[in-house]
Chain A
Amino acid sequence: GQNIDQPTEMTATEGAIVQINCTYQTSGFNGLFWYQQHAGEAPTFLSYNVLDGLEEKGRFSSFLSRSKGYSYLLLKELQMKDSASYLCAVIEAGTALIFGKGTTLSVSS
């Protein structure tokens, strides 16, 4: 089975940088995804990591360490619209995404 842990809630201010951590345990790791979900809406894809290292995409970056079973999502220059839930999801070979419980990020001015 899989076990995915991430903090339940985080708060930050506009313009700041925030790092959302995710640890996972899985028997057949084949990639890790980050999704953003605003309340009442469907998740939208942010990033995918399968090799160790940092993937940068605009204000968002995602890091993966396979040996440590660890990933983080880094959000820079925070904006109010970044207030949302951020979902860490892991995929094993030939299966569907399994989601963590999500981290609710609140950005204040």
Chain B
Amino acid sequence: GAVVSQHPSRVICKSGTSVKIECRSLDFQATTMFWYRQFPKQSLMLMATSNEGSKATYEQGVEKDKFLINHASLTLSTLTVTSAHPEDSSFYICSARTGGDSQPQHFGDGTRLSIL
């Protein structure tokens, strides 16, 4: 149980392109979903937290107009990187949780984004 699917797994595109990443909880309803970014050999950095049906809460330094998050249902959240540039190249990972703080966050397999 507790499977999170993230798609696509890898994206290579030109600078200026917008990229959408989907995160789905397959066998549970995710009351909260999280988006992280991870640069090589560094830890996961939380970008934003989203609850179904409400606006995402962004961490300090994360541009909400550049990283658009939609959490339309209890099983789906999307992250759109708008007008991506090479410095946005990173490993983006979503996680989902059902219930409160004592419940583990279950992670998707991540999306490796490369902007040329």
User: In the bound complex, do residue A96 and residue B49 qualify as a contact, i.e. CB atoms below 8 Å apart?
Assistant: yes
Size category, A interface: 20 to 34
Asked if A70 is an interface residue, CB under 8 A from chain B, the answer is: no
Closest Cβ of chain A to B7, distance in Å, is: 13
Taking CB atoms and an 8 Å cut-off, the chain B residues in 58-116 that contact chain A are 91, 93, 95, 101-102, 104-110, 112
Name the prevailing secondary structure of the B interface residues: strand
Q: Mark A66-89, 1 if CB is under 8 A from B, else 0.
A: 000000000000000000000100
Contact (Cβ within 8 A) B101 A45: no
Per-residue B-contact encoding for A42-61, CB less than 8 Å = 1, 0 else? 11110010100000000000
Q: Which residues of A contact B (CB under 8 A)?
A: 30-31, 33, 35, 40-45, 48, 50, 87, 91-102
Sample of 12 more A-B contacts, CB < 8 Å, known A40-B91, A48-B102, A91-B101 = A30-B101, A31-B102, A33-B104, A33-B105, A40-B112, A45-B106, A92-B101, A94-B101, A96-B46, A96-B105, A97-B46, A99-B43
User: Which residues of B line the A interface, CB within 8 A?
Assistant: 6, 32, 34, 42-46, 49, 91, 93, 95, 101-102, 104-110, 112
